[in-house]
Copies of this chain bind each other. A is one copy, B any other.
């Protein structure tokens, strides 16, 4: 994988010409260009305007809007409108609606009202995408296609419908040699859950007790594959009819319902929709104190985590497709960003290699569901704060040379969707959240000033100097190969290697195949209710704790108060037998970074650093200014007024 960023970053915006009088379009375009935007995403919810009646295509207005934008020097990202099928289409095939886990049909009236498994609807999508590609595939303003919008948003990945059931049975029949094979691998002898044919299999919802976890896991895999398939149909059409144009999809944060590596492989560019304040408010794994501390800034690591994650899904090419510009409408509470935060978020994305940062949206809509969602301009067209900050970012980019060759980061964090699904299906402790433990490892490393890549489990890891594996429950053969091959210092979180492909326990117990690398055996696991902490040398563990049998003497270990080992190091590999707090993680990672020769930095509270080639980009999520002299030392300040970084500030330095 080519870990580089070699383009000067650009800014963009999301725009809905159909929401505004055509007479204003040219003015909008000029304003966009004036503040330094380069890209404009349009079209992704406009099906009812593009085809108001069956087969009656109304594409002229879209062409005119693209002309207007192109004439203003803007490049167009054109979205396929498949997230919002019009009412007449739904009436033609009422079984295209998904059915939720409780058995309720979710119908027309908002968006994403479709079942990924509905073949008829998929065909309709192919039809409209074909028509759009034929008409606009060579438009001069067109640069990038976006497929659909936010796959899976509003819990729409999973459907418990008859069409999903039929597709699931087919998927299983292809995966397994025979029904006997499936019965054996799922352990269906348990509770007499055995099937006599693939047509016996039901969906894993609405059962008196929980359904078989192997059954549930395959249903999640199937559902992820249906997203991949749905996307691939559109990608195939666009590649054929509009060659030379990149294809992107906009992912979401803290969303794991499908395997983003799988979808990303079919795209040229991954992107995601970054809403720091809304996302933090929604998280249940974050304390109220943390939410109050970062109320108007967002969690200091959440955005960077996703930047690094999605950078890893499409060969290092990635965008922020939707950047929060002000208060949103969809969290329980919706505060405003501190002045400067929109600029900070933009620069942070650039520091992590974003090709484009695109704000959502140009003008706040005065109507419908998102009318309380701020934009770069207000509903009356007046510029909102974010447009001033965006313009500043544009000027700042122009003043710097950011065609930086970055290479891979010092540190890799391995993230595996199959393992995440396994953790979620059987968390064993109610608050065992696999994304939260990945974020805990990520955050601890970031607080030490480390820069990371997030990679899938089957990636070649040899280029990294430190590897974090927080939640790899299932270790595939290829993952084992990569992990075995590298001499890099590697640290594994609890539950590593504890499950097979079918979400069963390995014959030799956890850490399963990793026992080839780590001479330990997990004899027992406990999950711990909130408030229970096990003191460990250097910190503590909570939520989860394992009891290890050490098959040989470790090179190093940290023990719990009762003398049992929690963190053990054998050669280059360390295993942590519990959910570590920040202090313990920091202690372990500091040691390992020093051993690996990776420099760490004592970053003040709220400050984060991303190294971008020879440039160091500091951001300050805290409310207080911080003096960075001790870190910057002799470096030259490229952007910023000195070594003191203000609240919501950005500071860029380079080797002197």
Instruction: List the interface of chain A (C-beta within 8 A of B).
Output: 16, 18-19, 45-49, 52-53, 81, 84-88, 91, 98, 102-113, 153-156, 186-196, 200, 202, 204, 206-215, 281, 288, 291-292, 295, 326-327, 329, 332-336, 364-372, 374, 378-380, 384-385, 426, 428-430, 502, 504-509, 523-532, 547
In the assembly, what is the distance between CA of A49 and CA of B47, in Å?
54
Residues of B within 8 A of A529 (CB): 281, 288, 291-292, 295, 332-333, 335
Give the interface centre of A16, A81, A523 by most chain B CB atoms within 10 Å.
A523
A187 to B368, CA, bound (A): 6
Residues of chain B within 8 A of A18, CB atoms compared: 189
Given A190-B19, A204-B109: A524 in contact with B336 (beta carbons within 8 A): yes
Q: Which residue of B lies closest to A328 (CB)?
A: B428
Contact across chains for B191 and A84 when beta carbons are under 8 A apart: yes
Contacts of A206 in B (CB 8 A): 104-107
Residue in chain B with minimal CB distance to A329: B428
Which 5 A-B pairs rank lowest in CB-CB distance, beginning with the nearest? A187-B367, A190-B368, A48-B192, A110-B209, A366-B505
- Interchain nearest-CB distance for A164 vs B (Å): 15
The reply to whether A335 and B528 form a contact with Cβ atoms under 8 Å apart is yes
Chain B residue nearest in CB terms to A505:
B366
Q: What are 23 A-to-B residue pairs whose CB atoms are below 8 Å? A: A18-B189, A45-B191, A48-B192, A53-B196, A84-B191, A85-B192, A86-B194, A87-B194, A88-B196, A107-B207, A108-B202, A109-B215, A111-B209, A112-B208, A154-B208, A156-B208, A191-B369, A213-B368, A213-B371, A288-B530, A295-B529, A334-B526, A367-B504
Closest to A98 in B: B208
Interfacial chain B residues near A291, Cβ < 8 Å: 529
Give the residues in chain B near A335, CB-CB below 8 Å. Answer: 526-529, 532
Pick the residue among B87, B189, B191, B524 that contacts A111 (CB under 8 A): B191
- A220 CA / B453 CA spacing, docked (Å): 51
Whether A333 contacts B527 by the Cβ 8 Å rule is: yes
Residue in B closest to A326 when the chains form the complex, CB atoms: B524
Inter-chain contact A332/B368, CB cutoff 8 Å: no
In the complex the two chains form, what is the Cα distance from A387 to B111 in whole Å? 56
Considering only CB atoms, which chain B residue lies closest to A549 in the complex? B382
Complex formed: what's the CA distance from A39 to B651 in Å? 73
CB-CB under 8 A for A113 and B329, given A295-B532, A379-B509, A526-B336: no
- Do A380 and B208 touch (CB < 8 A)? no
* A194 & B48 in contact (Cβ 8 Å cutoff): yes
Question: Within the complex, what minimum Cβ distance (angstroms) separates A424 from chain B?
Answer: 14
A257 to B: closest C-beta gap in Å: 13
Complex CA distance for A507 and B20, rounded to whole angstroms: 13
A368 pairs with B212, CB closer than 8 A: yes
Q: Quick one: which of A86, A104, A189 has the most chain B CB within 10 A? A: A189
User: A87-B196, A112-B209, A191-B369 given. 6 additional CB < 8 A pairs?
Assistant: A16-B190, A49-B189, A107-B207, A109-B211, A110-B193, A334-B526
A502 to B379, CA, bound (A): 16
